[in-house]
């Protein structure tokens, strides 16, 4: 079965500095050669630390940021370079849920109008049909009909995220990019929203690109997980496989650094030295070489490729045979 | 190295290899004693009690965690201790905050409080970028903190500041002394905040979500740093966080707060091993990692409803409208925070605010 979404050699570089002619001497290499696929009905987790490019990658897929290079194949059509009017029919199919619902919802629009807008823009049904659809959406995400005429500030954080989800689902998308959808929420509300996202996925057959820095949520929700570091995927594997036998030294350090909510467990964490290098000038060769405990000279000499170590388990490290 | 002598009450503050729980049961000397603290915020629609009748001890060399969701009063408790409540709307109504060798912080005039703040007690915040001044070098800001409280000259202050930067693990401290906050990464900025907070060797350090804005690998660095410094300096830490993982790693004892009140107090192992209050039980169960055994993609446990607004609290127990174990008594009267009558031999170190565990 061909994948629903296939990303090939995706790069997204943002110019920085620049002289008065707009010539930029440098660029932030936010996404620097990403290949990944998402299959129908699948939830792919994308994890990594801030600045690793996971959000940019998500925004590229929705075409909110323009990719610099590479292909984004959605059901076989490359949408990476489509112009706005050609892109329109794909906009319905790929939607996004943002991290902070307060800043992504228009404070001057009622919930009803907010949900109506995509239907109107894409000319779906008459007024009555739109009204019915709005009601349907409210039911779907667990809001009440009286919420229709209220404004975002009248809701709690969890309810606002429900509105954000309803808006993303208005046009019946096939793929939803979830960019840190529960990071701004309290623990007790987080679990409500995660349950909702899982229910919707089963009910509507959605595929998710689930971007998060919270590794335990990704472990719970996703079928496969990709770990990003400085613009590249360093490891990708089925969830259980990744969490049970992590191969890449960065994945290992990342997972070991998560504090376990169990005081009886003495965690053996691997403390990485220093911080993530600047994506303007990433280290040559392997991007992780400056912080890797297993680094050798060869690591900065060549850019490692993703290789398949076990079925479906890919890792980007030249010393993988020696260190695992 | 600022190695203020370890407390001399005969109890080891902590040894590098002692498991976290080992000295939790030990009765240390209390450095900070908060009794019946109630803090009001005068907001539109009348005053609300953001903190209601909160009492606890912070003992020498321990990390006491306060955990709870947004609006539960954990930050307001810290700001009450620091005398940094938002003016003019915030006010301590009743209660005392006794700091060892200093007195009741709640009664201290502002001029005295200024001398205490940064010297005997200090605080680090969630977002170091907003708590550092962007137009001064970090070195200048640390020196300022030192010279405010200590009669030292510029050279001595500078030497101390460089020493502190070195202590918190900033490479090339001599060079970094002249950096501006924007030239440092988030993790480095938080290290600078910690250096500044510890420069005068405070008795207690309040840390309000110190790693929430940081990435996990950087969070691990900062948490380890805080643990190391606590061992080396003997400073007690009041750690405020919403992250139960951080609590499990750092704290010896924990207060759980909900809607302005403490609902449970327990040594960390008892809290995670045998939570008593239905809210604590619900919180622990709703974490994805707690559902690992039931397998992936199972529905998570949820706490129904939302935290009540502080000006529309339910009658009786504040958790009664969300509690799965609610019964009539809960809706009539608010339970006291008392030793549980059903926790066996762990009961002495614990307190819980729930009728289910305090039948009398």
| Residues B99, B335, B356: CA angle, nearest 5 degrees | 120
Residue B78 lies in a domain: yes
Residue B349 lies in a domain: yes
d(CA B73, CA A274) in angstroms, rounded, equals 34
Residues B194 and B263 in one domain: no
DSSP state of B37: E
Residue B312 lies in a domain: yes
Residues B194 and B207 in one domain: no
* Residue B12 pLDDT level (bands cut at 50, 70, 90): very low
| pLDDT tens digits, B36-89 | 999 999 988 889 999 999 999 999 999 999 999 888 999 999 999 999 999 899
Residues B247 and B102 in one domain: yes
CATH number at residue B250: 3.40.50.300
> Which of B155, B184, B201 finishes a domain?
B201
Domain that holds residue B149: 129-201
Residues 160-199 of B with CB under 8 A from A: 171, 185, 187-188
pLDDT value, residue B266: 96
* Residue A17 pLDDT level (bands cut at 50, 70, 90): confident
- Greater pLDDT, B28 or A155: A155
| pLDDT tens digits, B207-223 | 999 998 888 888 998 99
Residues B64 and B181 in one domain: no
> Which of B201, B226, B248 finishes a domain?
B201
Percent with pLDDT over 90 in chain A: 73
By C-alpha distance, which of A208, A186, A185, A227 is closest to A53?
A227
Given a cut of 70, whether residue A192 has pLDDT beyond it is yes
Report the sign of the C-alpha dihedral through residues B189, B193, B195, B199, in that order: positive
Contact A261/B288, CB-based, under 8 Å?
A: no
CA B336 to chain centroid, in Å, comes to 22
By C-alpha distance, which of A157, A100, A163 is closest to A134?
A163
Q: Could you give the strand order of the β-sheet that contains B90-99, starting from the edge strand earlier in sequence?
A: B46-59, B30-43, B90-99, B103-104
Contact residues, chain B, for A194 at CB < 8 Å = 288, 300
Across residues B113-141, what is the average pLDDT?
92
Helix (H) or strand (E) holding B67: strand B63-67
> Which of B142, B168, B201 finishes a domain?
B201
Residues B235 and B351 in one domain: yes
Given a cut of 90, whether residue B349 has pLDDT beyond it is no
Across residues A161-184, what is the average pLDDT?
94
| pLDDT tens digits, B21-50 | 444 444 578 999 999 999 999 988 889 999
Residue B5 lies in a domain: no
Residues B253 and B353 in one domain: yes
Residue B119 lies in a domain: no
Contact residues, chain B, for A264 at CB < 8 Å = 21, 269, 272-273
d(CA A244, CA A228) in angstroms, rounded, equals 18
Residues B23 and B71 in one domain: yes
Given a cut of 80, whether residue B19 has pLDDT beyond it is no
Residues B352 and B276 in one domain: yes
Distance from CA of B335 to the nearest CA of A (A): 23
d(CA B96, CA A60) in angstroms, rounded, equals 55
- Greater pLDDT, B217 or A170: A170
Residues B196 and B257 in one domain: no
pLDDT value, residue A78: 95
Q: For testing the chain A interface, which of B22, B220, B290, B303 should be mutated: the one with the most A CBs within 10 Å? A: B220
Across residues A1-8, what is the average pLDDT?
93
Q: Which residues contact B155 (CB under 8 A, 6 or more apart)?
A: none
Q: For testing the chain B interface, which of A147, A153, A185, A187 should be mutated: the one with the most B CBs within 10 Å? A: A187
By C-alpha distance, which of B2, B41, B30 is closest to B260?
B41
State both tokens at B81: 């201790």
Determine contact, residues B266/B253, Cβ cutoff 8 Å.
Answer: yes
Determine contact, residues A194/B250, Cβ cutoff 8 Å.
Answer: no
Phi, psi dihedrals of residue B107, rounded to the nearest 5°: -100, -10
Contact A254/B221, CB-based, under 8 Å?
A: no
By C-alpha distance, which of B127, B107, B80 is closest to B260?
B80
| Paired residues of A227 in beta bridges | A47, A235
| pLDDT tens digits, B223-233 | 999 999 999 98
Contact residues, chain B, for A191 at CB < 8 Å = 286-288, 300-303
Residues B315 and B215 in one domain: yes
pTM of the model: 0.87
| pLDDT tens digits, B268-313 | 999 999 999 999 999 999 888 876 666 677 888 889 888 888 888 9
d(CA B109, CA A61) in angstroms, rounded, equals 58
Residues B82 and B140 in one domain: no
| pLDDT tens digits, B166-191 | 999 888 899 999 999 999 888 899 99
Residue B122 lies in a domain: no
Summary mean pLDDT of chain B: 88
Q: Report the domain count for chain B.
A: 2
- Decide if B248 touches A, using CB distance below 8 A: yes
Whether the predicted interface score ipTM is above 0.90: no
By C-alpha distance, which of B123, B177, B112, B174 is closest to B149?
B112
Residues B152 and B21 in one domain: no
Q: Nearest Cβ partner of B215 from A49, A267, A269?
A: A49
State both tokens at A167: 């808006």
Which residue in this structure is represented by tokens 């960019």? A179
- Decide if B303 touches A, using CB distance below 8 A: yes
Contact residues, chain B, for A217 at CB < 8 Å = 288
Phi-psi bin for A259: left (phi > 0), alpha (psi -120 to 50), beta? beta
pLDDT value, residue A24: 66
pLDDT value, residue B305: 85
Determine contact, residues B240/B78, Cβ cutoff 8 Å.
Answer: yes
């Amino acid at each position: 079965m061909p994948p629903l979404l296939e990303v090939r050699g995706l790069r997204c570089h943002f110019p920085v500095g620049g002289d008065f002619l707009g010539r930029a001497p440098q660029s932030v290499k936010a996404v620097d050669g990403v290949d990944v696929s998402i299959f129908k009905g699948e939830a792919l987790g994308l994890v990594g630390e801030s600045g690793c490019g996971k959000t940019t990658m998500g925004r590229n897929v929705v075409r909110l940021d323009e990719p610099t290079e590479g292909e984004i194949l959605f059901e076989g059509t490359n949408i990476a370079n489509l112009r706005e009017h050609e892109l329109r029919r794909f906009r319905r199919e790929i939607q996004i849920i943002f991290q902070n619902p307060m800043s992504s919802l228009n404070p001057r629009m009622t919930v009803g109008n907010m949900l109506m807008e995509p239907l109107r823009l894409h000319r779906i049904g008459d007024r009555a049909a739109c009204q019915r659809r709005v009601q349907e959406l409210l039911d779907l995400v667990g809001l009440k009909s009286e919420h229709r005429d209220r404004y975002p500030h009248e809701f709690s954080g969890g309810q606002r995220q429900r509105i954000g989800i309803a808006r993303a689902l208005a046009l019946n998308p096939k793929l939803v990019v979830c960019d840190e959808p529960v990071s701004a929420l309290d623990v007790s509300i987080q679990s409500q929203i995660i349950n909702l996202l899982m229910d919707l996925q089963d009910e509507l057959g959605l595929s998710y690109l689930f971007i998060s820095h919270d590794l335990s949520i990704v472990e719970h929700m996703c079928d496969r997980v990709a770990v990003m570091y400085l613009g590249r995927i360093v490891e990708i594997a089925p969830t259980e496989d990744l969490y049970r036998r992590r191969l890449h030294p960065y994945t290992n350090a990342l997972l070991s650094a998560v504090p376990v909510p169990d005081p009886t467990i003495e965690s053996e964490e691997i403390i990485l030295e220093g911080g993530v290098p600047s994506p303007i000038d990433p280290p040559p060769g392997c991007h992780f070489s400056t912080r890797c405990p297993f680094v050798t000279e060869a690591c900065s000499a060549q850019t490692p490729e993703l290789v398949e170590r076990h079925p479906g388990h890919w890792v980007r490290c030249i010393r993988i045979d020696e260190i695992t | 190295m600022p190695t203020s002598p370890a407390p001399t009450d005969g109890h080891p503050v902590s040894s590098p290899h002692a498991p976290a729980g080992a000295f939790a049961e030990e009765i240390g000397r209390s450095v900070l004693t908060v009794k019946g603290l109630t803090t009001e915020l005068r907001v539109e629609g009348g005053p609300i009690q953001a903190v209601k009748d909160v009492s606890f001890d912070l003992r020498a060399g321990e990390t006491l965690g306060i955990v709870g969701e947004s609006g539960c009063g954990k930050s307001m408790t810290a700001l009450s201790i620091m005398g940094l409540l938002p003016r003019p709307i915030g006010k301590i109504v009743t209660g005392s905050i006794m700091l060892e060798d200093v007195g009741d912080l709640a009664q201290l005039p502002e001029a005295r409080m200024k001398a205490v703040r940064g010297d005997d007690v200090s605080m680090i915040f969630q977002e170091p970028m907003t708590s550092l001044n962007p137009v001064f070098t970090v070195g200048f800001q640390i020196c300022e903190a030192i010279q405010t409280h200590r009669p030292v000259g510029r050279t001595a202050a500078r030497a101390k500041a460089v020493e502190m930067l070195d202590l918190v693990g900033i490479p090339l401290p001599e060079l970094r002394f002249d950096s501006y906050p924007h030239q440092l990464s988030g993790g480095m900025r938080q290290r600078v905040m910690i250096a500044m907070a510890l420069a005068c060797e405070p008795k207690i350090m309040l840390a309000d979500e110190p790693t929430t804005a940081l990435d996990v690998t950087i969070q691990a660095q900062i948490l380890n740093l805080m643990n190391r410094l606590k061992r080396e300096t003997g400073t007690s830490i009041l750690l405020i966080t919403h992250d139960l993982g951080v609590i499990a790693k750092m704290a010896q004892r924990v207060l759980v707060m909900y809607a302005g009140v403490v609902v449970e107090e327990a040594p960390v192992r008892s809290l995670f091993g045998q939570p008593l209050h239905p809210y604590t039980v619900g919180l622990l169960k709703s974490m994805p990692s707690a559902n690992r055994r039931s397998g992936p993609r199972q529905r998570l446990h949820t706490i129904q409803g939302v935290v009540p607004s502080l000006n529309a609290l339910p009658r009786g127990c504040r958790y009664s409208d969300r509690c799965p174990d609610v019964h009539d008594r809960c809706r009539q009267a608010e339970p006291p925070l008392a030793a549980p009558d059903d926790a066996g031999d762990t009961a002495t170190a614990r307190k819980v605010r729930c009728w289910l565990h305090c039948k009398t």
